[in-house]
Homo-oligomer: A and B are copies of this chain.
Amino acid sequence: VRKLLTAAERVAGIADLKGWQEANAGTSIIKSYTFSDFTKAFGFMARVAHEADKMDHHPEWSNVYNQVDVILSTHDSNGVTAHDIKLAQIMELIAPEFL
Q: B-contacting residues of A (Cβ < 8 Å)?
A: 38-39, 42, 45-46, 49, 52-53, 58-65
A52 nearest in chain B by CB position? B38
Cβ–Cβ < 8 Å partners of A53 in chain B: 38-39, 42
Cβ–Cβ < 8 Å partners of A46 in chain B: 42, 46
A43 nearest in chain B by CB position? B49
Cβ–Cβ < 8 Å partners of A52 in chain B: 38
A69 nearest in chain B by CB position? B62
Cβ–Cβ < 8 Å partners of A49 in chain B: 38, 42
Cβ–Cβ < 8 Å partners of A64 in chain B: 58-61
Task: Kindly list 15 other residue pairs between chains A and B, CB separation below 8 angstroms, not including A45-B45, A62-B62.
Answer: A38-B49, A38-B52, A38-B53, A38-B58, A39-B53, A42-B45, A42-B49, A42-B53, A46-B46, A58-B64, A59-B63, A60-B62, A60-B63, A60-B64, A61-B62
